[in-house]
Structure 1
Amino acid sequence: MRIALPRSLLARNIALLVALVALAQICSLAVLLHFVQRPRIERAAVIFADYVTLLDDAVARMPPDEGRVVAARLHAQRETPPAPAPEPASLVNFFRTWQRDVFIADLQRHLPADMPLRWQAGSGQRLWIRLHISGEPAWMPMPLVPDAQGTGIATTLALSLLLAVLAALTGYLIQLHLNRPLADLARAARRVSAGETPPPLPTDGPTEIAQVSRAFNQMTEALQQAETTRALMLAGVSHDIRTPLTKLRLAIAMALPRGTNDALVASSEAYLDRIDTILQQFMDYAGSGEREPLQVGDLNTLSGQLVADFAGLGHEFDFEEGPIPPFPFRPVAVMRLLMNLMHNAVAYGQTGLAVRTWADESAAHVAVCDRGTGIRAAEMEKLKAPFSRGSNERTHSGGTGLGLAIVDRIARLHGGSLTFRDREGGGLEALVALPLDPPAVLPPNGRAS
């Protein structure tokens, strides 16, 4: 049988601390009972046995008349006392009965064989001892000595439990203090994985944690430098390539005047436009609108405008508009998101084009639908990775495989998501969810924390 251990370091350390404190308390209690309490009980039993023996000798020699008077005064009786009733089981009762049983056993060992003992529980706890009053056996009640009653053991147990709880609480607070920088490190790591740049972690804690914090700060700084270098490189590449492209356009226009070879000019300009489009897709993926500020806007208005624009190009989208309250989003980035999805629907779905919008308590939703048969929703999920292409890509050349990656990145920039599902009746639905309360931080990789 496998023992289920707590998952967190805090829970494991607290469980270990509690176990160690409990073990220490058990060992301390065992030492207290065996080496302190038992000798006290044994000494008390010897003294009490001597007292009872002297008392028995005194009352045994009394004349019958005096013996009856003494027996009445001491509440002695001829009948054997009833057997003690069982006591409820508890920790305090265990130690009290243990001390009492040890005392009675030691007392019986030091008394003569013809002087049996009987314990009477209840409100008036008494120890019955059979003495010989005027030579006749009689049971005489005697109060139990404090060493045998265990009156202080309950206080000792309560104090031990209090100290154990105090030790566990102190350990818990110490562990919380140690876990706080670890929790800060975990939050900072999540922010880094989301593309943010967290503030440097403090390095004034314990040595081991301080070393981890310093290493994490160095890693964060290196990632930030790499991100800056990447942005500069992409900007430089875009500038350095677009400049000769512009010159090449001018050279073609000057070398081939209009009317001399229009087919060659159109073909050359188409290739140049494709190169420019590819460059723009790379820049869009690198940026994806993270520098654009949030603005409260109407998603239905933006969607309807795009539906009208595509209709002007000959691509009719059915628009099913649901109620969506105004909420903050980046209009240019969201427009690029919808345009990419609608362009994909036109290019790969071709028929049954539709756009639906609605909202729930936490997010606004947009669905771009088509009736295409070339690709399934499960495969579309894989195409969200950069430079991924579907099985029908061979019929549509010129792309970079960044279209859906850009859409996914913009959705995550807003704290939302992009998913796909097979459309009822055939086709595909691209579903975008944008939170009505998006994160204000602009992570460079488009992931919201």
Structure 2
Amino acid sequence: MSVASGLRVVPRSLFARNVLLLVALVAVSQVCAIAVLLHFIQAPRIERAAGAFANYIVALDTLLETTPPDARQTVLSRLDLRADLPAGASTAAPDSRLRFYQSYWRRTFIESLRRHLPPDMLVRWQSGDTTDDGQQRLWIRAHLSGEPRWLALPVPEAAHDDGLATALLLSLGLGALAFATAYVIQRHLNRPLAHLADAARLVSAGGEPGVLPTDGPTEIAQVSGAFNRMTAALKEADATRALMLAGISHDIRTPMTKLRLAMAMSSVPSTDAAFAASAEGYLDTIDTILQQFMDYAGSGAKETPVVGDLNALIANLAADFAGLGHEFALDLGEIEPFPFRPISMMRMLMNLMQNAVLYGVVGLEVRTWTDMNANTACVVIADRGKGLGGQDPEALKQPFKRGGGEGQPKGTGLGLAIVERIARLHGGTLELRAREGGGAQSCLVLPLSGDATH
């Protein structure tokens, strides 16, 4: 097995790894405890019992061997002495996985007994299922008045049970209790980490996670406190940025308005119409750039999601573009109404459709459908322009990163960055792809379950 496949056996989560490590430690400790108990405690006890038992058997064999011939019948009537072994007797006791200690006891006792007895005194074991009374027996070859005979010695079931099985069950129960306790403790420790991960995902999507509790263990409380300070600093930075951009927009738009008014009241439009139109175009460009900065600063996180019809919104936008001379072919699949932020969603779709108009010009198309397996709405806005031009799609979504080459329309490079932020705000994704047959397409995937960030 390769290293990579071996690593896949180990769980990825810290919770699962800790639980697995705990189970392994408890199992190893139990196995080691049983091994130590059997090897250093039970084995010597069984050895001593077998030695004492062997001494009694040797003494009994000596007594039987010296029995007078006229007393043989009396001895045979008192003891179970047979000339032949019964059919069920065997050289070793049967093993049982369920009753492993009894099997270990029998095997160890018989082997030790054979070592202590003389070589001519053979030992055989007969299980209870082969006897008439259901009792287990040891058969030992003795000598009655010089003749070999098999002596039956019943082994009561109680001789195997010295409380070890109960001790083992109790040990396993304590191990299970330790595992359950550690599982509960680990879940308690893992809960604030899960909350921290959820809050981090919320921040990355542009949401506000709120204040994390800091009343847990010291180490986790320190991490939660640092996260709270970080989110507070980010919130303050966002507020400062929005205020600064709003101030810049206001301060710049005020003289722009005055400039428009001054141009309208001057004689420039009548004397040089081309210059006046060019100036008006520059003013419109500045106003558009300011609006894009404001859109990027205001991500729409404070807008409340409402249940809406995505297809209806797309159809309305397509009609607006058609009024400006840009026809989008619509292929709108069935999408159930779901919660989204209407203004942010309109801004996102409008940016993508505007990109298709500016960079694609022809082959404009919008397709929608529902992915039932993932419970998501899918939107594709495509064109037949020059495509991505070999550029990295992920890099194009970064702020101030512009696509296209010479002759392409100018802009701030914030359009796709705005779309990316709004898509993540709704719990969705944006992917840019080259379109089969030429051109480019923007693919939006939005959850239908209302998982938009609040």
What band does the TM-score fall into relative to the shorter chain?
0.7 to 0.9
In the aligned structure 1, how far is the partner of 2:188 from the partner of 2:153?
57
The Cα shift of 1:128 comes to: 1.4
Task: Please name the residue that 1:206 is paired with.
Answer: 217
User: Are the equivalent residues in 2 in contact too, given 1:40–1:147 (CA < 8 A)?
Assistant: no
- Residue 438 of structure 1 pairs with residue 453 of structure 2: no
Task: Please name the residue that 1:188 is paired with.
Answer: 199
Given candidates 90, 107, 120, the residue that maps to 1:83 is 90
3-state SS, counterpart of residue 352 of structure 1: coil
Task: Please name the residue that 2:400 is paired with.
Answer: 387
Task: Please name the residue that 1:29 is paired with.
Answer: 34
TM-score normalized by structure 1?
A: 0.85
- Residue 292 of structure 1 pairs with residue 303 of structure 2: yes
Given candidates 270, 273, 277, the residue that maps to 2:281 is 270
User: Are the equivalent residues in 1 in contact too, given 2:383–2:441 (CA < 8 A)?
Assistant: yes
3-state SS, counterpart of residue 419 of structure 1: strand
Change (3 A) 1:298 1:118: closer
Structural mapping, 1:42-441, within 5 Å: 42-80=47-85, 82-84=89-91, 87-88=94-95, 90=97, 92-93=99-100, 95-112=101-118, 114-123=120-129, 124-144=135-155, 149=160, 152-256=163-267, 258-361=269-372, 362-373=375-386, 375-376=388-389, 379-392=392-405, 394-441=406-453
User: Are the equivalent residues in 2 in contact too, given 1:369–1:428 (CA < 8 A)?
Assistant: yes
What amino acid is aligned across from residue 186 of structure 2 in structure 1?
A: Q
3-state SS, counterpart of residue 430 of structure 1: strand
The Cα shift of 1:433 comes to: 3.5
In the aligned structure 2, how far is the partner of 1:137 from the partner of 1:276?
119
Q: Deviations over 1:134-177 (max 9, x none)?
A: 34321110123779635644333333333322222222222222
In the aligned structure 1, how far is the partner of 2:293 from the partner of 2:448?
29
Task: Please name the residue that 2:132 is paired with.
Answer: none
Which 5+ residue runs of structure 2 have no aligned equivalent? 130-134
User: Are the equivalent residues in 2 in contact too, given 1:274–1:398 (CA < 8 A)?
Assistant: no
User: Are the equivalent residues in 2 in contact too, given 1:126–1:144 (CA < 8 A)?
Assistant: yes
Change (3 A) 1:90 1:63: same
TM-score normalized by structure 2?
A: 0.84
Superposition RMSD in Å: 3.1
3-state SS, counterpart of residue 395 of structure 1: coil
Range that drifts further, 407-416 or 111-120: 111-120
- The number of residue pairs the alignment matches comes to 440
What amino acid is aligned across from residue 402 of structure 2 in structure 1?
A: R
The Cα shift of 1:74 comes to: 2.1
What amino acid is aligned across from residue 124 of structure 2 in structure 1?
A: R
In the aligned structure 1, how far is the partner of 2:376 from the partner of 2:120?
91
Change (3 A) 1:119 1:205: same
Range that drifts further, 252-261 or 10-19: 252-261
Counting aligned pairs with the same residue, the percent is 58
Q: Deviations over 1:12-60 (max 9, x none)?
A: 3333333333333233333323443234324433443343344334444
Task: Please name the residue that 1:445 is paired with.
Answer: none
Range that drifts further, 170-179 or 111-120: 111-120
